Amino acid sequence: MKKKVVIKKKRTPVDYGRIFCDLKKYKRLYSVVLGISSVLIIVYALSLPNYYNCTVLLSPELSSSTKKSSTIMNLSKAFGMKVDPHMDRNSEAIFPTIYPDVINSLDFKSSLLSIKIKKNNCTEGTTYYNYLLNDQKSPWWADAITAIMNLFNSNTSTEDSLEDEIIDLHRLTRPQTMVLRAINDLVICDIDEDTKVISVSVTDQDPQVSALIADSVKCRLQGFITKYRTQKAITEFENLKKSCADAKREYEQTSERYSKYIDTHQNSLRTKERVEAEALENEMHLCKSNYEKLSYDCQEAEYKIQEKKPAFTTLQGATVPIAKSSPNRSLMCIQFVAFVFFFLTVCILYRENDLKRFLGYN
């Protein structure tokens, strides 16, 4: 059989001088397109509102069982194995890795809507809900689109306040849904899988509001975790406290009955009366012993509540940011102009057939 002979085509060298001359012919087009692009991107960038970011770092206390599970997870991750974080029955039901899910839950974020805030350089306060709904700056084209949509939407209400309104999470209104979606983008929680450090980041157009909401989220997260970890101990303490009160009342009643019986039969020495007196005395001592035991258990349960309360270490508190975090208008303008320049260059090279030669096609 004859072997096929493959003839390799030599790649023609790129004539950069010719390409430069071809591009130089369109210098007027470059100046016009890049000039218009620069004006458009500058107008667009200046229309965007400034945003400020405040980040809070929080380190939760881990129980011994949780630390053990965390160590096992890190070792298994290093060897490429998957281990259930709740493999230990004695480990906490709330593992630190699900704290971001707690903050992202609808119940938690809806609780932020009633926070009282004051904008920077403003004396009147309002709720976080009303602030996000009515006091947010937006680009002019967004306001124009909203105004046009409101003309065709007859159900749009201009007044929507949360001063006395209770949110029904099963039937959210349209403004409430919009605000909760905005919070999903403004309030972000993350956790370091290795150090278990919780990071709460809040972005807002007002630097003072961003710091206030970041501190509020931190406090509410601490309260939620504390309530969850002590809920069982508190329930046990309340039950013991009620039983202790009943035992105390029963002891006082039996003690009173015994005292009255002794007073009325003090000079009597009949056997029947002595037996009844001893029975009342034994009942009184039994009630006293039960009351003392329940009182001790109640004190132990109260101590257990304090023991269950987690301790949090604030690694970085909420401070009012000075510099804006976004948008980076300079970088935005440079990137857009560079993209327009690159796109225009490709189109010119394609028109002049220089693109094929540049890529190695004849």
- What is this structure's pTM? 0.70
Tell me if 138 is assigned to some domain: yes
Helix residue ranges, H only, 158-270: 174-186, 207-264
Q: Are residues 169 and 224 in the same domain?
A: yes
The Cα–Cα gap between 138 and 64 comes to 49
Range of the structural domain that residue 112 is part of: 54-229
Beta bridge partners of 117: 126
221 burial via Cβ count (<10 Å: 0-12, 13-18, 19+) = buried
The Cα–Cα gap between 177 and 106 comes to 10
The Cα–Cα gap between 271 and 241 comes to 40
Q: Are residues 141 and 269 in the same domain?
A: no
Q: Are residues 44 and 158 in the same domain?
A: no
Nearest one of 163, 194, 220, 205 to 325, comparing CA atoms: 205
Strands 312-316 and 52-60: what pairing?
antiparallel
Q: Are residues 137 and 104 in the same domain?
A: yes
- The domain tally of the chain equals 3
The three-class DSSP label of residue 328 is coil
At which of 169, 204, 229 does a domain end? 229
Q: Are residues 104 and 173 in the same domain?
A: yes
Tell me if 302 is assigned to some domain: yes
The Cα–Cα gap between 215 and 200 comes to 9
| Edge-to-edge strands, sheet with 312-316 | 187-191, 198-204, 52-60, 312-316
Q: Are residues 77 and 196 in the same domain?
A: yes
Q: What is the DSSP letter of 105?
A: S
Per-residue pLDDT tens, the chain, 362 aa: give them. Answer: 455 555 555 555 666 677 777 778 888 988 999 999 999 999 999 989 999 999 999 887 665 444 444 544 554 455 455 545 444 444 454 566 777 888 888 888 888 888 888 766 666 778 888 888 888 888 887 777 777 877 776 555 444 555 445 677 778 888 888 888 888 889 988 888 778 888 899 999 989 899 999 999 988 888 888 888 888 888 888 998 999 999 889 988 888 888 888 877 766 656 777 778 888 888 888 988 998 898 898 988 888 888 888 777 888 888 889 888 888 999 999 999 999 999 998 888 877 776 666 555 55
